[in-house]
Amino acid sequence: MKNIAVIGAGMAGVTAARTLVQAGHRVSVFEKSKGAGGRMATRDTPYGGFDHGAQYFTVRDERFMRALNEVPGTQALCKPWSASSVQVRDPLGRVIEVPKPPRELHFVGAPAMNSLVRHWASPLAEAGQLFCNTSVKALRRKGKQWQLVSAEDKVLGSFDSVVLAIPNVQAAYLLRQSGAPAAQFKALAATEAVSVAPCWTLMLAFPLVQPGLGQMGPQWNVAQSTHHRIAWVARESSKPGRSPIERWTVQASAAWSQEHVQDDEARVEAKLLKAFAELTGIRAEPGFSQLHLWRYAKTLQAAGQAYFWDEEQHIGLCGDWLIGHRVEDAFVSGLSLALSLQAPA
Ligand SMILES: Cc1cc2nc3c(=O)[nH]c(=O)nc-3n(C[C@H](O)[C@H](O)[C@H](O)COP(=O)(O)OP(=O)(O)OC[C@H]3O[C@@H](n4cnc5c(N)ncnc54)[C@H](O)[C@@H]3O)c2cc1C
């Protein structure tokens, strides 16, 4: 049995932690936010929730499907949601909507996108193994063990191994804060080969629109877009079991987000609102509007291996960015790393 720290309680970290616990290891999970979920996130507002990170997930890997079907209580937390139309511009530059037959089922978390990971993390929380509101600032070598240090300079414990289940840039930062020469960390090379784009995300609610009196704006609920500012818009109120108040999530494109990552929020919000009106025809003033910047949203170039494990340093890396940019990639990465560590060395 090893004493293992997992940093990050998104899909990858929680999957890795559960699998390591099942293999008999002692596991502690540290998460800087107030709850598990990571980018499978939901922003609660007086008008209803917004899935301002992942909008839906798909299931292609048999092991992910098995987990969704077999972990008790999971099926009820995943609801099918139709996200299958595409917006394109016609030759005159007008935005038109083209229905796209779904190639696969799309699921959303119920009642919120973070419900799935929070449910999977609940045995860890109940066993006192999940430490939220705990940002890990540094790793320190103490003999054969790793000491984790919090943002408040508190020692969080000593561990045989550390799993970094966080975005690549944050993982690289932590490794550099270890006090050891960078050359000692093969893991750094894995983080540096990767490119991840930010995403400006705008959440809009129109509470004056009466539910049931016909939808406001377009008759479709989601659109991938060719608009240069916007990559995706979705009607949050169309998701199963959510508040009926008219709500939209708008995700800026990777290129535009990258270009405007340093802009001030008011400017970004105004530009995205204008683009939203052009795309949807909704020109009403929103009753609620909130902006969020995901600094490490979408993998553009993945590491190309499911996980990374440094047998000398006893440091592992997992997360979507190792193999892709989807929720399922995070699951596969966390699972693969944990399975590789199952047999205590
Ligand atoms: C805007 C947006 C839209 C998306 N749309 C989709 C989609 O439609 N479909 C899809 O499949 N995927 C989508 N994704 C991607 C999906 O959300 C991710 O692939 C997946 O959630 C990644 O999980 P993860 O565990 O690898 O990382 P994360 O979810 O990022 O988890 C990492 C966790 O580590 C924590 N953390 C970071 N640093 C520290 C530290 N120093 N100490 C403690 N904790 C720390 C973070 O708070 C976070 O909870 C989207 C993502 C974004 C941002």
Distance (angstroms) between ligand 1 centre and the Cα of 253 equals 17
Distant-in-sequence, close-in-space partners of 183: CB < 8 Å, separation ≥ 6: none
Beta bridge pairs of residue 316: 163, 309
Q: So what's the pLDDT on residue 212?
A: 58
Q: So what's the pLDDT on residue 100?
A: 73
Q: Which residues of the chain have pLDDT under 50?
A: 345
The atom of ligand 1 lying closest to the CA of 199 is 1
Burial class (CB in 10 A: 0-12, 13-18, 19+), 264: exposed
Tell me the backbone φ, ψ of residue 248, rounded to 5 degrees: -130, 140
Distant-in-sequence, close-in-space partners of 87: CB < 8 Å, separation ≥ 6: 95, 96, 97, 98, 223, 224, 225, 226, 227, 279
The three-class DSSP label of residue 189 is: helix
Residue written as tokens 């440094």? Answer: 310
Q: So what's the pLDDT on residue 185?
A: 81
Q: So what's the pLDDT on residue 152?
A: 93
Distance (angstroms) between ligand 1 centre and the Cα of 53 equals 8
Q: So what's the pLDDT on residue 343?
A: 61
Distance (angstroms) between ligand 1 centre and the Cα of 87 equals 26
Q: So what's the pLDDT on residue 345?
A: 46
Nearest CA to ligand 1 atom 38: 166
Choose among 186, 326, 323, 38: nearest CA to 337.
323
Q: So what's the pLDDT on residue 22?
A: 96
List the Cα angle 88/90/94 in 5-degree steps: 85
The atom of ligand 1 lying closest to the CA of 13 is 25
pTM of the predicted model as reported, rounded to 2 decimal places: 0.95
Q: So what's the pLDDT on residue 254?
A: 96
Ordered structural domains, the chain, with CATH: 3-32+134-193+306-340 (3.50.50.60), 75-113+196-299 (3.90.660.10)
What sign for the dihedral angle of Cα 62, 64, 65, 69? positive
Distance (angstroms) between ligand 1 centre and the Cα of 221 equals 24
Beta bridge pairs of residue 201: 251, 292
Choose among 322, 316, 324: nearest CA to 341.
316
Distance (angstroms) between ligand 1 centre and the Cα of 9 equals 9
Tell me the backbone φ, ψ of residue 222, rounded to 5 degrees: -140, 155
Nearest CA to ligand 1 atom 18: 327
Encoded tokens for 44: 């609660």
The atom of ligand 1 lying closest to the CA of 33 is 47
CA distance 195 to 204: 29
As a whole number of Å, the end-to-end CA separation of the chain is 9
Pocket residue to mutate for ligand 1, from 120, 222, 327, most atoms within 8 A of Cβ: 327
The three-class DSSP label of residue 172 is: helix
Nearest CA to ligand 1 atom 20: 327
HSE-CB at 128 with a 13 A cutoff on CA atoms is: 0
Q: Which protein residues are within 6 Å of ligand 1, measured from CB?
A: 7-13, 30-33, 38-40, 53-57, 135-136, 165-167, 170, 199, 201, 251, 294, 297, 319-320, 325-327, 329-330
* Residue/partner pairs of 336-339 with CB below 8 Å, 24 or more apart: 336/306, 336/307, 337/16, 337/163, 337/306, 337/307, 337/308, 337/309, 338/15, 338/16, 338/17, 338/18, 338/19, 338/20, 338/23, 338/163, 339/19
The atom of ligand 1 lying closest to the CA of 135 is 42
CA distance 89 to 227: 8
Distance (angstroms) between ligand 1 centre and the Cα of 82 equals 22
CA distance 148 to 328: 28
